[in-house]
Amino acid sequence: MAIDVKICGITTAEAMDAALAGGAAYVGLMFYPPSPRFLGLDAAQRLAERVTTPARRVGVFVDPTDEALAAILAHVPLDALQLHGQESPARVAEIRRHFALPVIKAVKIAGSSDLDEARAQEAAADILLFDAKAPPDRPGALPGGNALSFDWRIIAGERWALPWLLSGGLNAGNLAEAVRTSGARAVDVSSGVESAPGIKDPVMIRTFLAAARAL
């Protein structure tokens, strides 16, 4: 079973080149300033323009305004938008319609009740992304990229109207179990291919992508 991989939060040319050479289906560029993976316009543009493979360039945003999205899209070529905040289905649909780009909507999961939000987003987004919900006793946690996993059994056996990606605490060591348990056909990794927060390791990227191909 082929597994598509999204390498998210790329900040260097070396990491981008490793992701592309390894066959990543998606490469993510972060536009959320508090994140250690945040990119300015010039850096994001340079990285996006390195993409010469079929990999889709995904801009990652948290509750963005139309003005912020327009300013970034005027400089950075993106193939899809990922919304990782509290965007309602109506807001997701509005962004999708206004910018005419596919939208990946992240849904944070801690228990089965969180699947209700995913069901609500099915009519608005193009792709769903299931990530771990940060626990309330973890102040300062980011909307994503916290190296946290959720119980993959929560989504096992669920059927969705949209394609979806599994995210949250994945690495080369647990990828096979995560895919086997959840049934994922596509995965998203960020901290699991980093040597330090925000520092992607090209060797870890290649190892993760090789593990995905081996499945």
Distance CA 85, CA 75 (A): 23
Whether 66 is a known active-site residue: answer no
DSSP conformation class of 89: H
Assess contact for 39 and 58: CB atoms under 8 A.
no
Whether 42 is a known active-site residue: answer no
Question: 63 vs 7, 13, 81, CA distance in Å?
Answer: 21, 27, 12
Distance in Å from the first CA to the final CA of the chain:
6
Q: Is 90 helix (H, G, I), strand (E, B) or coil?
A: helix
Catalytic residue among 8, 126, 137, 201: 8
Catalytic residue among 131, 137, 188, 201: 131
Assess contact for 52 and 33: CB atoms under 8 A.
no
Query: Would you please indicate which residues are annotated as catalytic (active-site) residues?
Result: 8, 131
